Amino acid sequence: MTPALVPLPVVVPLLGAALTLILANRPRLQRSVSVLGLTTTLVVAVVLLVEAYRHGPVVVRVAGWPPPVGIVLVADQLAALMLVVSSAVTLCVLLYSIGQGRGETSESAPVSIYHPTYLVLTAGVTNAFLAGDLFNLFVGFEILLAASFVLITLGGTEVRIRTGSTYVVVSILSSMIFLAALGLVYAATGTVNMAQLAGRLDALPPGVRLALQLTLLLAFGIKAAVFPVSAWLPDSYPTAPAPVTAVFAGLLTKVGVYAIIRTETLLFPGGQVANLLMVVAGLTMVVGILGAAAQSDMKRLFSFTLVSHIGYMIFGVALSSVAGLAGAIFYVVHHITIQTTLFLVAGLVEERAGSTDLRRLGGLARIAPLLAVLFFVPAMNLAGIPPFSGFLGKLGLLQAGVAAGGTLPAVLVGAGTLTSLLTLYAASRVWNIAFWRAPRLATSGPPVRLPGLMVGATAALVLLGLVLTLAAGPLFRVTADAATDLRQRTPYVRAVLP
């Protein structure tokens, strides 16, 4: 019964996309189809997570072809956990965008393409999480990229085209590198099935193996916005519509991080590049957050904190101990939720005050107290103030770093603490300027009533962040279990190739 559920998170959004495209002239029906599709995905994802936690990875052979000939979809604990978080977040963002009236036919978006594209994006993300072979992972990436191209240039205004063209070119380049790596992997091993690769890559000469590993790492590093190749992100995310930026910030880079976790544990265990990963993780954290401190626009500032906090996850992967991986997975879950929430709040600020430029904002705490609360909780969560999940995630990673011993992990623990403090600085700077000081021109106009659905969806995500805090104990148990499975490799390989 359960294996039959595995393809649903990919198939349901794709069918929904087709339906919403047909229903382009029936906005109400279109909205219901989207919401229903994503709710189904969420329910299926939760069932899969429970099943994977209790009985190990759930595998489905597409069209009944046995692997390695056919394609497999694998929902192990890591993939299922990612599915649950990503579908919860996409559902909330969808409700938010419905509240905002996005997806309606308007002058800036003449065809109602928002809903179909959004659903295709979701299908791409879930396909990447479930992919059991490298080529299917590539296809997942391409699905989500193609959809994201449409969403980031939505409306085709001059500024969106400018930022969109940077994004499109960088994404295509990273896909080309991934594709080249795929070709080389196949040439070296004769397979792209990940479970089979796990065995065959071990037999390769170390030089060839390292070259393949680094090529894949570069491709995923660009997608995940790891430091030397992260400059494209703060340049392209902020101009898109708020819900689009929010879902990109929450999910797309994390798919890259997921791919790094998967390949570094399943295909290339042993930590040959651990030192390299630690150096880039440290640089990502520090350079990213220094960039955030200099920004004077809320959305740009949070794009920089997004880059910076990717560093924590890479640090956990670099440690490659069970504690490190568990911390990294926990941090991914936490960061997807919190970063999306912050961009949704930025969207609410834009709706309320007409701008997210800090120079124009002020006094929001007095004018819109609820908005202030919705900002304050996730901002402090991101900065890692106890007792929030941001603190627990960072604590888990730093403890794993201290347990690893050695100079480089110690330096990274220092960098992580510094980044946490600087995040607090950046977050409180936004708080002081936009919320705490006296009202400005942009904020002193007549009060605007924010649509209830927008506020509700944002509040739901803030609550989800708090639930992550309260349920951190059980969640850490799941991530530790997932990390143990990842380190052992046998549960995954045995489930795919019995």
Partner 1 sequence: MTRGEAGPTLVLVIAVGVLVATGVTLLLERSLTRILLGVILLGNGVNLLILLGGRSGAAPLVGTVPASAMSDALPQAMVLTAVVITFGLTAFLLAVAYRSWYLSGDDEVQDDLEDRQVVRLAERNEVSTADLGGEGPDNDPEQVDPEPALRRLRRRGEEQ
Minimal distance, residue 210 CB to partner 1, in Å: 19
The verdict on 165 binding partner 1 (CB under 8 A) reads: yes
Indicate which single residue of 173, 411, 460, 463 sits in contact with partner 1 (rule: CB under 8 A): 173
The verdict on 107 binding partner 1 (CB under 8 A) reads: no
Indicate which single residue of 162, 369, 448, 471 sits in contact with partner 1 (rule: CB under 8 A): 162
Minimal distance, residue 231 CB to partner 1, in Å: 10
Which one, 437 or 489, has the nearer CB to partner 1? 437
Tokens (6 digits) for 112: 């109602």
Residue 317's φ and ψ, nearest 5 degrees, are -65, -40
The verdict on 186 binding partner 1 (CB under 8 A) reads: yes
Which one, 39 or 166, has the nearer CB to partner 1? 166
Minimal distance, residue 223 CB to partner 1, in Å: 15
Give the contacts of 9 (CB within 8 A, at least 6 positions apart): 41, 44, 45, 48, 83, 87, 123, 126, 129, 130
120, 153, 170, 228, 231 from 166: Cα distances, Å: 22, 11, 6, 16, 10
The verdict on 169 binding partner 1 (CB under 8 A) reads: yes
Indicate which single residue of 26, 55, 359, 477 sits in contact with partner 1 (rule: CB under 8 A): 359
Residue 360 DSSP code:
G
Q: Tokens 């797309």 sit at which residue?
A: 252
Indicate which single residue of 11, 21, 180, 460 sits in contact with partner 1 (rule: CB under 8 A): 180
Residue 104 DSSP code:
S
Q: Which of residues 418-437 bind partner 1 (CB under 8 A)?
A: 429, 433, 437
Indicate which single residue of 166, 215, 417, 428 sits in contact with partner 1 (rule: CB under 8 A): 166
Residue 133 DSSP code:
B
Do 119 and 10 contact (CB within 8 A), yes or no? no
Residue 435 DSSP code:
I
Tokens (6 digits) for 323: 């504690």
Which one, 235 or 481, has the nearer CB to partner 1? 235
Which one, 156 or 270, has the nearer CB to partner 1? 156
Q: Tokens 């604590």 sit at which residue?
A: 395
- b/e 31-67 (16+ beta carbons within 10 angstroms → b): bebbbebbebbbebbebbbebbbeeebbbbbeeeeeb
Minimal distance, residue 8 CB to partner 1, in Å: 23
Do 146 and 17 contact (CB within 8 A), yes or no? no
The verdict on 172 binding partner 1 (CB under 8 A) reads: yes
Q: Which of residues 226-285 bind partner 1 (CB under 8 A)?
A: 235
Burial classification of residue 190, based on how many CB atoms lie within 10 Å of its CB (0-12 exposed, 13-18 middle, 19 or more buried): exposed
The verdict on 164 binding partner 1 (CB under 8 A) reads: yes
Q: What angle do the packed helices 452-470 and 369-383 form, to 10 degrees? A: 30
What's the sign of the alpha-carbon dihedral 488, 492, 497, 498? positive
Q: Which of residues 281-310 bind partner 1 (CB under 8 A)?
A: 294-297, 300
The verdict on 460 binding partner 1 (CB under 8 A) reads: no
Tell me, by CB under 8 A, how many residues bind partner 1: 45
Give the distance from CA 241 to its chain's centroid: 17
Contact stretch for partner 1 (CB under 8 A) within 271-279, 355-363, 399-407, 413-421: 355-363
What's the sign of the alpha-carbon dihedral 490, 492, 496, 498? positive
Which one, 68 or 393, has the nearer CB to partner 1? 68
The verdict on 187 binding partner 1 (CB under 8 A) reads: yes
x-or-dash pattern for partner 1, window 125-144, by CB under 8 A?
Answer: ----------x---x--x--
Which one, 294 or 403, has the nearer CB to partner 1? 294
The verdict on 168 binding partner 1 (CB under 8 A) reads: yes
Which one, 164 or 401, has the nearer CB to partner 1? 164
Which one, 77 or 193, has the nearer CB to partner 1? 193
Residue 73's φ and ψ, nearest 5 degrees, are -110, 130
- Residues in contact with partner 1 by the rule CB under 8 A: 135, 139, 142, 145-146, 149-150, 153, 156-158, 161-166, 168-169, 172-173, 175-176, 179-180, 182-184, 186-187, 192, 235, 294-297, 300, 358-360, 429, 433, 437, 440-441
